[in-house]
Structure 1
Amino acid sequence: MTLSLFDQFMSPTYLGIPLIAIALVLPWIFFPSPSGRWVNSRLTTLQSWFINRFTQQLFLPLNPGGHKWALILTSLMTFLLTLNILGLLPYTFTPTTQLSLNMGLAVPFWLATVIIGMRNQPTVALGHLLPEGTPTPLIPVLIIIETISLFIRPLALGVRLTANLTAGHLLIQLIATAAFVLLSVMPTVAAMTYIILFLLTLLEVAVAMIQAYVFVLLLSLYLQENV
């Protein structure tokens, strides 16, 4: 019986326990906790440096009103980054390949930015639906287009993260299968295929980090429009 390549993206269960729940909780165990010592360990210092640099870079263009989201967005970035990278290990499951999980993250955060904009500056928030200087006959059409683009934002966030990770995992599996089949037939071609597989794996590590950053960056841009 030939299994589908997409079976690897199904949420597995073991003894009735959904492993996606374990995959969501497990990454936090790997992060070192700050201690009360005068001098921290190298790993804790590196982690603090990364979080500080990321937070500074992310909130540089934001107004002071958006700095309250620093803890939420930094935690989200760390969470997505860990899930994406750990999902590249053998015998692991990547929860961020599930569109339901990504939409469950994208929709509440996007909706929170919209609600903040409607509460703090409703005139400016509604003004985004109609650019200044629009000709009168185009006003209804532009309002409809801008409204649709506003509601497409969370869908674009979730689909972008899901599609990039799913495509990378599928490509790795296809090349790995080809290299395994060619190993007994054409060892030289198989060796070249393994080199390509190694380079693709490095590329997927970069994609995992970039997609986590892009997800949080777009949320910060949506927040900037409403604070």
Structure 2
Amino acid sequence: MALAFFDQFSSPTFLGIPLIVIAMVFPWVLFPSPSNRWLNNRLISLQGQFFNRFTQQLLLPLNFGGHKWALFLTSLMMMLLSINMLGLLPYTFTPTTQLSLNMGLAVPFWLATVIIGLRNQPTAALAHLLPEGTPLLLIPVLIIIETISLFIRPIALGVRLTANLTAGHLLIQLIATAIPVLITTMAPVALLTFTVLFLLTVLEVAVAMIQAYVFVLLVSLYLQENT
């Protein structure tokens, strides 16, 4: 029974073909495409306004060189947000609960920021490894520590997203499994458990949105250090 709780995190297959690609592509079908008319409908207008606000907020702390990443970061944010939100629906699969997918997103973006920093401003990029005014005896130790922290960044990006979503989904399933058992024996406790489940679901919706934003925000901060 304990293993059944983790079945929701296994990638679904059909005739031996993984369906994770469909789970990742399907959210983009739900977004309405702008028309060629002068006036759009309310949904497209709200969508365009959200994109503009988010892009402005995201690029506010970045230098001018980092503005080239606006399309990538906004697209990444919408992809993660859509996948996380749709994964809360019943009988669905959340691709972002897979560590391999999150690491596949975190490592290339992190590596791109590092390469950009080493190419455009190598002195400033290497200066992050040694804070100014460090005592002479601590220089080797701090360089090793900063180097380790640099390589831990993509791991932290992927593990943070995976752990938060996996923990939330697992708690929801555990509490939802207890309600049918309690309703026949202790109805008041079952009602209290259902209230906790509802509040936890609302919290998980907030976590799904926040984690998508945090992932993109950290990538933009890494980009800021190297532009």
TM-score > 0.5 by shorter chain: yes
**Deviations 1:6-62 (Å, cap 9, x if unpaired)?**
121111111222111110111100000000111111111111111111111111011
Q: Does 1:5 align with 2:5?
A: yes
Q: 1: CA distance between counterparts of 2:35 and 2:180?
A: 47
Partner residue, 1:137: 137
Q: 2: CA distance between counterparts of 1:172 and 1:214?
A: 22
Tell me the amino acid that sits aligned with residue 142 of structure 2: L
**Deviations 1:97-140 (Å, cap 9, x if unpaired)?**
00000000000000000000000000000000011111111111
Partner residue, 2:94: 94
Partner residue, 2:68: 68
Residue correspondences, number: 227
Tell me the amino acid that sits aligned with residue 38 of structure 1: W
Q: Percent identity?
A: 79
**Alignment map for 1:199-214 (pairs within 5 Å):** 199-214=199-214
- Measure how far apart 1:2 and its partner are: 6.1
The CA RMSD over aligned residues, in Å, is: 1.0
**Alignment map for 1:78-117 (pairs within 5 Å):** 78-117=78-117
Tell me the amino acid that sits aligned with residue 92 of structure 1: T
**Alignment map for 1:1-227 (pairs within 5 Å):** 3-227=3-227
TM-score normalised by L of structure 2: 0.98
Q: 1: CA distance between counterparts of 2:19 and 2:93?
A: 8
Q: 2: CA distance between counterparts of 1:150 and 1:3?
A: 36
Greater Cα offset, 201-210 or 7-16? 7-16
Tell me the amino acid that sits aligned with residue 97 of structure 2: T
**Deviations 1:131-183 (Å, cap 9, x if unpaired)?**
11111111111000000000000000000000000000000001101112111
Q: 2: CA distance between counterparts of 1:175 and 1:225?
A: 43
Q: 1: CA distance between counterparts of 2:154 and 2:3?
A: 32
- Measure how far apart 1:192 and its partner are: 1.6
TM-score normalised by L of structure 1: 0.98
Q: SS of the counterpart of 2:61? A: coil
The gaps in structure 2 that reach 5 residues or longer are: none
The gaps in structure 1 that reach 5 residues or longer are: none
Tell me the amino acid that sits aligned with residue 128 of structure 2: H
- Measure how far apart 1:4 and its partner are: 3.3
Q: 2: CA distance between counterparts of 1:89 and 1:15?
A: 24
Q: 1: CA distance between counterparts of 2:3 and 2:136?
A: 57
Q: SS of the counterpart of 1:4? A: helix
Q: 1: CA distance between counterparts of 2:48 and 2:181?
A: 45
Q: 2: CA distance between counterparts of 1:190 and 1:31?
A: 38
